[in-house]
Amino acid sequence: MSEDNEVFVYPELTGRCRIYTDVAKITSENIFQVLEEAMTIHMKNVDDMVLLMRYEKGIQPLVRKKIIRKEVNIKVSDNLANQITEFKLGYVWGQPITYVQRGNKDLKKSTEKENDFQDDSISMLNELNDAEYAFSKDQELGRFVEITGVGYQFVDIKRNFDGLCPFDLVTLNPLFTFCIYRNSALQEKLAGVTFCRTKNGTVYYTVFTPDTRYEIKDMREITNGEKPKNPWSFMQHSGEINPLKMIPIVEFNRATDRTGCFERQISDMNALNVEVSDFANAVAQTTQEVFFGVGFELPKDDNGKTQAPVGGQWIIANNTGNGGTPLLKAISSTFDYSGVQENIVSKRNTILQRAYVPIQTDPGGGSTGSAMNMSSGWSAAETVLARKNRFYAVEKRKS
């Protein structure tokens, strides 16, 4: 939580922007212009993704400013974002992704030997994925996808073959990875880009197109591929041939609008944090009540300054002598604690329901199994899971 008492204004989050270019093909002649335009859009996405990652970790500044009794300013983060994310990781990404044989395209012409060969090939592919610890890498991918709305995996030929798997499977950080698509009806993927920034500020880009791999330094020069034949020429390197003949960076989208799993509920979660914080402040202010007195005078020190009472001590004062009864009482107001608590619980359940997360409460008796599943939200979660599995399957097949 923020330490200051200022109002934090959250930006409008509407999903990550997809990056398009007007060129038909990325070449060594236009790659710098395309990359520069793409980085402008990507950095806007990075700002949103950083906010979402920090929000999931519990860094959720309040959207209100404490005006009365600023010294009592407890800031609470209920952090439903983490609860929603952890449920999605377990429920959507909890089981290892395995490949199965759905059937031959031509059942009449296929032989039993060919069927056995295809089954063995699918089994071998699953074994190779296990050798690359694909399950843990899919979990890492799932965290990026659920929080930021996008995720990326990289598949490449293993440079140092260890005798187990001939390819490398790597989950890339979406803060340093993106894909570029053609601005056309088909929206073909033209390139996959990943980059890193060194301690001295140099940025190295790796750009994959279907036929070429470019290594670029500071968006100024291509550092790999054939050198110019003329030693006095200022021509750039041409890049290396991509042996895969396809872009090895695969992009995963959580939804069509590329939003995170809790992104649509951020405004509700901010309101919940304010209510929980105000509830904690109300309790603190009750135990730290302000007192007022009438009909007596507080003693003064040698300099004539009134001695203010210290918390936890008795107040010893002189009667004013006007015949009245001295009075000392706390300034307090009636606070409906039970009503506020019920409202907090109701708001939490509403947020979880909108995020398709089952409510973890003890249901009342007399309900059937299916009725309990519907009331707690499990049926809705299963429906969303079935839709997302189809959505993720398309990208997983590409990897």
**What is the pLDDT of the chain when averaged over all its residues?**
81
Residue pointed to by tokens 């399950």:
135
Cα separation, 148 vs 175, whole angstroms: 10
Cα separation, 149 vs 34, whole angstroms: 24
**Taking the CA of residue 336 as centre, how many other CA atoms within 13 Å lie in the half-sphere pointing to its CB?**
5
Give 330-371 pLDDT, tens digit per residue. Answer: 666 666 778 888 999 999 999 999 998 988 665 555 555 454
Residues 6+ apart with CB under 8 A from 333: none
Per-residue pLDDT for 38 more than 90?
A: yes
Nearest C-alpha neighbor of 396 from the set 251, 199, 237 = 251
Per-residue pLDDT for 150 more than 90?
A: yes
How does residue 235 score in pLDDT terms, banded at 50, 70 and 90?
Answer: very low
Torsion angle of C-alpha atoms 317, 323, 326, 327, degrees rounded to 10:
-160
Per-residue pLDDT for 398 more than 70?
A: no
Span 110-122, average pLDDT:
63
pLDDT for the residue numbered 234: 43
Alpha carbon distance, N-terminus to C-terminus of the chain: 39
Give 181-191 pLDDT, tens digit per residue. Answer: 999 999 999 99
32 and 219 Cβ atoms separated by less than 8 Å? yes
Nearest C-alpha neighbor of 388 from the set 7, 163, 22, 97 = 97
pLDDT for the residue numbered 68: 75
Cα separation, 61 vs 272, whole angstroms: 12
pLDDT for the residue numbered 217: 92
pLDDT for the residue numbered 315: 64
Mutual orientation of helices 31-56 and 134-148 as an angle, nearest 10°? 90
CA distances from 144 to 75, 88, 90, 342, 383 (A): 27, 11, 14, 34, 22
Nearest C-alpha neighbor of 288 from the set 63, 62, 70, 65 = 70
Higher-pLDDT residue of 272 and 392 is 272
